[in-house]
Amino acid sequence: MRKKIALIGGGQIGQILAMLAAQKELGDIVILDVPDYENSVKGKALDLMHMAPHGNYDSHISGTSDYKDIRGADAVIVTAGVPREEGMTREDLLSTNIKIIKGVAKGVKENAPNAFCIILTNPLDAMVYTFHKVTGFPKNQVVGMAGTLDTARYRSFLANELGVSVADITGIVLGGHGPTMVPLPRLTTVGGVPLSEIAPQELIDKVVKRTREAGTEIVQLFGKGSAFFSPAWSAMVIAESYLKDKGRVLPCTALCEGEYGINGLFIGVPCLITAKGMEKIFEIELTDEEKALLETTKDAVQKTVDECNV
Ligand code: APR
């Protein structure tokens, strides 16, 4: 039987998610949005069905505003909420998006209680925390997308600076999805060669800084709205690893219970994603400097979570 993927939120990211899931034939796709946007997501779904003959997929795509239609979903990807406008931080979205996420969590809990859930709505770390609290789902069933995107941005910037294929850059970004995130140049390699052996510190510092501000750089260019292509791809990489039991090791926002000295917070850490969901968090021995940076990002995430009052 085909897998079923429910996309909660059918805006900029949601529509790209639907296209990617169809092109990858990951399963049938339901796009759910608020009643005012029901026709809009029905139209997007129909448009994507008409892309199938040339896109070579048999996925069925539908739009709805009724949670009953997500019943039986294997995976749920949440982008419901408002995006940033120029001059806003992700935290500025909190009061609006927390209400939306609470409602979404209730709908998912009632209708797709076994689905693996990937959250993208910002401020991301706090929204994943809230979703997990409201659903009461086991921790392996809920992750946030952030680190996968932050690492992609880091790899992309490095590849451009070094003039090498992005495929040869491996790296990881830990921590919260914001300017306090922690890229780890010490563990970055370029085709197996340690980054520090081929790149001057100045270049590394520049890339780290740009990675931390990458989302804001895009918001400033758009003026209204935030990135959508790369967040969608990053979420789809996580979803695909789960749906196909690929065993990818990806930085995801996961519930730490003692790992990295963090307790009870969702934050970006390297995760093994299999058919069991977030099967395992890998711990890395950090230097004192890296530990201090992780402490700073942890405090930033904790502050936003405290404001959620959940
Ligand atoms: N249930 C379902 N969908 C909702 C709800 C809700 N309660 N509230 C809002 N939505 C829908 C909106 O109607 C809209 O279609 O969520 C969609 C959001 O789409 P966009 O406004 O285009 O935003 P997008 O760029 O997709 O970003 C969504 O992801 O990266 C984060 O910061 C970003 O929080 C934002 C989210």
The pLDDT score that the predictor gives to residue 156 is: 98
Provide, rounded to the nearest whole percent, the portion of the chain with pLDDT above 70: 100
- b/e map of 185-203 (b: 16 or more CB within 10 Å)? beebebeeeebeeebeeeb
The pLDDT score that the predictor gives to residue 193 is: 98
Beta-strand runs (E) in the chain: 4-8, 28-32, 61-64, 75-78, 116-119, 142-144, 169-170, 173-174, 182-183, 189-190, 193-194, 248-257, 263-274, 277-281
CATH number for the domain whose boundaries are 4-146: 3.40.50.720
Query: Looking at residues 82-110, what average pLDDT do you find?
Result: 93
Query: Looking at residues 172-194, what average pLDDT do you find?
Result: 97
Whether the CB of 111 sits within 6 Å of ligand 1: no
Paired strand residues for 256: 265
Cα separation of the two ends of the chain: 38
Catalytic residues, by residue number, are: 177
Residues contacting residue 283 through CB under 8 Å, at least 6 positions apart = 259, 260
Compute, in angstroms, the gap from residue 16 CA to the centroid of ligand 1. Answer: 12
Q: Give yes or no for residue 306 having a pLDDT over 90.
A: yes
Q: What span, in angstroms and rounded, lies between the C-alpha atoms of 213 and 181?
A: 10
Q: Give yes or no for residue 53 having a pLDDT over 90.
A: yes
The pLDDT score that the predictor gives to residue 278 is: 98
Q: Give yes or no for residue 37 having a pLDDT over 90.
A: yes
Compute, in angstroms, the gap from residue 1 CA to the centroid of ligand 1. Answer: 30
CA angle 218, 293, 95 (to 5 degrees): 50
**Which tokens go with 264?**
């009870």
Provide, rounded to the nearest whole percent, the portion of the chain with pLDDT above 90: 96
Q: What span, in angstroms and rounded, lies between the C-alpha atoms of 32 and 11?
A: 10
Residue-wise pLDDT for 116-126, tens only, equals: 999 999 999 99
The pLDDT score that the predictor gives to residue 194 is: 98
From atom 18 of ligand 1, which residue's Cα is the shortest distance away? 11
Q: Give yes or no for residue 91 having a pLDDT over 90.
A: no
Whether the CB of 251 sits within 6 Å of ligand 1: no
Whether the CB of 16 sits within 6 Å of ligand 1: no
Query: Looking at residues 204-220, what average pLDDT do you find?
Result: 97
Q: Give yes or no for residue 85 having a pLDDT over 90.
A: no
**Which tokens go with 190?**
């370029």
**Which tokens go with 297?**
């990002």
Instruction: Return the CATH number of 147-306, one of 3.40.47.10, 3.90.110.10, 2.40.37.10, 3.40.50.300.
Output: 3.90.110.10
Residue-wise pLDDT for 3-16, tens only, equals: 999 999 999 999 99
Map out the domains of the chain as residue ranges. Answer: 4-146, 147-306
Q: What span, in angstroms and rounded, lies between the C-alpha atoms of 251 and 127?
A: 17
Q: Give yes or no for residue 137 having a pLDDT over 90.
A: yes
Query: Looking at residues 156-167, what average pLDDT do you find?
Result: 98
